[in-house]
Amino acid sequence: MANDHYLTLSCGDQPGIVHAVTGVFAASEVNILDLQQFSDPTTKKFFMRVHFGPTPTASADYLRPAFDALSFTELVYDIRPVAQKTRVLIMVSKIGHCLNDLLFRAKTGQLPIDIPVIVSNHPDFAPLAASYGIEFRHLPVTAATKAAQEGQILELVKAHDVELVVLARYMQVLSPTLCEAMSGRIINIHHSFLPSFKGAKPYHQAYDRGVKIIGASAHFVTADLDEGPIIEQRVARVDHSMSPKALVDEGSNVESQVLAAAVKWYAERRLFLNGSRTVVF
């Protein structure tokens, strides 16, 4: 995959987009390895992801003037080397299965990400971070210190060139200020099949309702709690014999899988925001 790249593109939908985009690659004698597209008839938006290469040089910036010249409305595009890993800051509280899963998958090459720093409002996972050689920052938070604590988080984002923040069971509500500053760049794992059982203790809510399926949802974070665009959801079957703790144990496996999938898709440039929804290629 040396000198392979991803093109991600969105714009107002109209005839001729695919012809124009593929024409750029044809004129430059660059091979398209994979192409996915979607036209949303409701929002009138067009989305495209192209895996192309190899290019004659490590950089594909020489293609940008041709894409800049495209006259489509609301055109937004990006070109990124496939080999360039996404830099991820992970936030966690006191429940560590999602953190542990992400660290293992990153270490073994299952996730194309670099994790320069882990942030927690508790000190519990400092030894785990140290075992992977990753900086750990213990940033306690109260209502009185939330603004200052989130300011420190944004400083870490800037200092480490972080592209994505992952809330791996970080049990604090982010302020609208932080959500806006990192809009479209924060992914959360919620331990229920949204929109059911929002807020605290969703497994206990599910137990009280006697559900037969539990699930987990990975979503982009917005200022509205658990209302952000959903990226991925998966479920597990449960029954009447299972206690709330058994539901929690069963759900933890689903949470890890769902969050890992969402992070992988973000890193592979498969995710597009489409209003309150997502497009996932």
Q: How far apart are CA 202 and CA 215, in angstroms?
A: 10
Task: Give me the half-sphere count of Cα atoms (radius 13 Å) on the Cβ side of residue 241.
Answer: 1
Contact in structure between 181 and 158 (CB atoms under 8 Å): no
3-class DSSP state for residue 91?
Answer: strand
By C-alpha distance, which of 197, 186, 194 is closest to 221?
186
Known catalytic residue at 249: no
Is the preceding omega at residue 15 within 30 degrees of 0, hence cis? no
Q: Which of 13, 34, 226, 239 is catalytic?
A: 226
Cα–Cα distance between 246 and 177 in angstroms, integer? 37
Residues contacting 166, CB < 8 A, separation 6+: 88, 89, 90, 91, 102, 186, 187, 259, 263
Give the pairing of strands 135-138 and 113-120. parallel
Task: Give the integer Cα–Cα distance in Å for 225 and 217.
Answer: 13
Dihedrals φ, ψ of 111, to 5°?
-120, 130
Dist CA 51 CA 188 (whole Å): 27
Catalytically active residues, by annotation = 226
